[in-house]
Amino acid sequence: MRGSGDPGAELMCSSLAGPDCCGGLDNIDFRQADLCVMNWLLGYVDPSDPYFVAAVLTIAFNPLFWNVVARWEQKTRKLSRAFGSPYLACYALGGAIVLLNVLRSHCFTQAMLSQPRMHSLDNPTAYLVGLALLAVGGVLVLSSFFALGFTGTFLGDYFGILKEARVTTFPFNILDNPMYWGSTANYLGWAVMHASPAGLGLTAVVALVYVIAILYEEPFTAEIYRRKSSQLRKRS
């Protein structure tokens, strides 16, 4: 484990003492505590590793890309005009998203393989737990795709391809945004199967990015359907 042989770090960790209850926080040396924790973390995860950096960048870039492009299309309809059809434009964006997600998964896997495994996770039980998470994630992702269809999955509403009503069948009847959480479960399962602290850290980044994406996407999508409903009421 990297960093475990540093005598200075061991001395620093061993010298930490509990705070004096009457002295308040003034008796706590936060610099020592932080370095001790960082020494343990950096033994498993090297955030400067090129594969780890690439994984973080692809995780953050993908939702940014599809949201920027989809909103640009919703405002300008330039993709639809360029492809001659909103459906063809949506298919093109969907294909680009799939390729970017393949790249993200590749970078995620390479980041795990380039960094140490955690021995406490490297056992058959953890492997089975990871496999179960992969299965659950796969069911959520695939069932979401079949319920929404290609255009529903890949931002067709931004291209003016709207569904008649909100999808409420499985898995949307048990979970909001099942595609995102299924994808997160897939990455978590993959990380656990590889006993990878780096993978677990990257999975946390995936979950955080999806939470931000949901907060950004849902109000805008709701506004698109609100306008559609308002237009239908005016026509009737």
Going by the annotation, the residues of the binding site are 135-137, 217-218
Q: How far is CA 233 from CA 72, 74, 221, 224, in A?
A: 27, 22, 19, 15
Question: How many Å apart are CA 49 and CA 172, to the nearest integer?
Answer: 38
CA atoms within a 13 Å half-sphere pointing along the CA-CB vector of 72: 11
Q: How far is CA 220 from CA 71, 157, 174, in A?
A: 9, 10, 23
Question: How many Å apart are CA 49 and CA 59, to the nearest integer?
Answer: 15
Residue 48: DSSP 8-state: T
Q: Phi and psi of 225, rounded to 5°?
A: -75, -30
CA angle 210, 71, 64 (to 5 degrees): 35
Question: How many Å apart are CA 94 and CA 150, to the nearest integer?
Answer: 8
For tokens 């380039």, the residue is 114
Question: How many Å apart are CA 133 and CA 145, to the nearest integer?
Answer: 18
Binding residues for S-adenosyl-L-methionine: 135-137, 217-218
